[in-house]
Structure 1
């Protein structure tokens, strides 16, 4: 398997877009959302992260199955 720099940079750019979108769209609400997240116990945040990882892996697997 070869490392494809173009694909990597495209994926990284998409990640930045998806991470920045809520701050751009809901800039006024983000401090409240971040404060709510800061109040959550670490176990709950870990579960959120785990399910986000699973969702990302599922999307990647689904996208690769289409090709």
Structure 2
């Protein structure tokens, strides 16, 4: 459970930094996402999810404690 809370906290820190440091960039990114078809947005989401899974696997191989 502590690992899940750690991961969630790290995601919230990164998301918060993006909104705090570059709010106009976030707005432009959202405008671009609105113009894309839902299938493209879904594919990008799946790609990001798989990339995250690979990073977590790689971290575990390097000895990160889970």
Deviation per residue, 1:5-53 (Å, 9 max, x gap): 3222211100111222221111122222211111110011011001101
Map of 1:38 onto structure 2 = 34
Map of 2:10 onto structure 1 = 14
CA RMSD of aligned residues (A): 1.2
Q: Which has the larger radius of gyration?
A: 1
TM-score by length of 1: 0.81
The count of corresponding residues between Structure 1 and Structure 2 is: 63
State how far apart, in whole Å, the 2-side matches of 1:11 and 1:22 are: 17
Flag as ranges the 4+ runs of structure 1 deviating above 3 A. Answer: none
RCO higher in structure (CA 8 A, sep ≥6): 2
Map of 2:43 onto structure 1 = 47
State how far apart, in whole Å, the 2-side matches of 1:65 and 1:30 are: 33
Structure 2 residues without counterparts, runs of 5 or longer: none
Structure 1 residues without counterparts, runs of 5 or longer: none
